[in-house]
Amino acid sequence: MKVQLYDTTLRDGAQSEGISFSLNDKIRIIKKLDDLGINFIEAGWPGSNPKDIKLFEAVKEIQLKNAHIVAFGSTRHIKNKVSEDPNIKALVETGCDYITIFGKSWDLHVTKALRITLEQNLEIISSSIAYLVSKGKKIIYDAEHFFDAYKTNSEYALKTIKTAQDAGCCSIVLCDTNGGTMPFELEKIIKVVKNSFKTPLGIHSHNDSEMAIANTIAAVRLGCEQVQGTINGYGERCGNANLCSIIPNLKLKLGIDCISNEQLKKLTETSRFVNEVANVSPHIHQPYVGISAFAHKGGIHVDAIKKCGETYEHIIPEIVGNHRRMLVSELAGKTTILEKAAQYNIKLDKDSPEVTNIIKILKRMENEGYQFEGADASFELLIKKNVGLHRSFFDLMGFRIIVERRNDKLISEATVKLMIEGEEEYTVAEGDGPVNALDNALRKALEGFYPIVKGIHLTDYKVRVLDAQEGTAAKVRVLIESSNLQDTWGTVGVSENIIEASYKALVDSIEYVLLKKEQDEHGNI
């Protein structure tokens, strides 16, 4: 059986409280989802906001290997001709081959929300799909609130999807929009639909009763060929069906090759990448991809797991790109250190004192609040500092930052004093904010000695409060993403002072580039 994976992180997931993706965030996530092997990526609703319109223009320049970009929207408004409806026109103008539109299945929504007749609702479903099909588009029809609709008026609910089928949609997705359907209810309803319709079916489940994954798996077992969900289960209210659990369940438990084995190994990386881009604290106990998913603490479990992984693990962690953690063992983390070192062309032996020391430092830093997911450059520097492959290119003698209001405008100014190659360098720079001013002053001081610094650009900056109960005195973690057009890298800093945390991350970013350039030139790794 073939199952299509349909990701709606950028649209449905972005409706999650506390999440707001920038245009650049969305492009980066699209590339990551494509690498994972997702078949359809719902990029957004072009009729709802300017940002999504810009995104559809930007994605035309991206070469995707696996995914189709999908535009999302609603059926036409009852007062508009379909050819003149702004939402429908915006969908066509995206240039997407695939378009998903949703329509009302529940008579309650038709009469109470849209305030139109049941026949009028059927007409707008039919005309919207038929018009888009006439424009050469392949239409995925999301039957909103379908299961609630069926439970209250099965005849009308079935009539809505029959209308969509007759209008020419290529698939019908049954939506549990309120997320309250139980698996036994869903199974009964899908069996009826499956026996009555020839159009391929899909499933779109929300998680308000903690059943989204169970309902999705049940739907697939009954023949639904398209699975809609989000990375990490992001979504409005309680979230959507979590693709990070659905994908391995399909592949490893049901034997459905929805992605390749190599792509499955990227699952944990993708989950954590999207968390960082969204600036959301990861759910450490999340199945398959959580940092605690294969963590073992003390006693019988640890002893048994060392002898045979199957004793307390339902799969091999590495299959999904995760790894086992022995929380009370001094051997915990050695494999990860060795693997990372190998990526940096550094040869280490698992019993070497360097590896033991790196693990001690790593544990101390993690206890202080450091996290190296999304900050590989800082982790590479940590390893190189402990194996003698690092040198300091400059020493900080001091910095000062002031923020003042001038003519009703806030101005940030940073003063930096560095010792570089035996020379004292003193510079001043302004910026849009204190961190930007500090970044500008640092690079201004270094550019004369190291011209490569001119090409470094800060592309993303995120702050996470680590102990919110401390209020404004809380420790923070700053994650910085930098780029030089050829490469992108992440660095991290932690402190009770947001400026100091930012400085640490900025310095790591610059030192990473300088060290890489020096070692590339001299080949001394």
Residue 263's pLDDT is: 98
Residue 525's pLDDT is: 43
Instruction: Tell me how crowded residue 509 is: count the other CB atoms within 10 A of its CB.
Output: 28
Residue 299's pLDDT is: 59
Where b means 16+ CB within 10 Å and e means fewer, 82-95 reads beebebbbbbbebe
Residue 227's pLDDT is: 98
Confidence (pTM) = 0.71
Q: Which fold has domain 403-449?
A: Double Stranded RNA Binding Domain (3.30.160)
Please determine, looking at this structure, whether the domain spanning 4-278 carries the CATH number 3.40.50.300: no
What are the backbone dihedrals phi and psi of residue 337, each rounded to the nearest 5 degrees, phi first? -60, -45
Q: Which fold has domain 339-393+452-525?
A: Double Stranded RNA Binding Domain (3.30.160)
- What does pLDDT average to in each consecutive run of 10 residues of the chain (525 residues)? 96 94 94 98 88 92 95 97 96 97 97 96 98 98 98 98 98 98 98 97 98 98 98 97 98 97 96 90 90 78 79 95 67 66 85 88 86 84 92 94 88 95 94 91 94 88 80 83 82 94 95 89 58
Question: Vertex 450, ends 448 and 451: CA angle to 5°?
Answer: 75
Same fold, 4-278 and 294-332: no
The structure tokens listed for 11 are 């649209």
d(CA 292, CA 426): 47
Handedness of CA 189, 190, 195, 199 (dihedral sign): positive
Q: Which fold has domain 294-332?
A: H-NS DNA Binding Protein (4.10.430)
- All structural domains of the chain with their residue ranges: 4-278, 294-332, 339-393+452-525, 403-449
Coil, strand or helix at 476: strand
What are the backbone dihedrals phi and psi of residue 192, each rounded to the nearest 5 degrees, phi first? -65, -45
Residue showing tokens 């409005």? 236
Which one-letter amino acid corresponds to residue 321? G
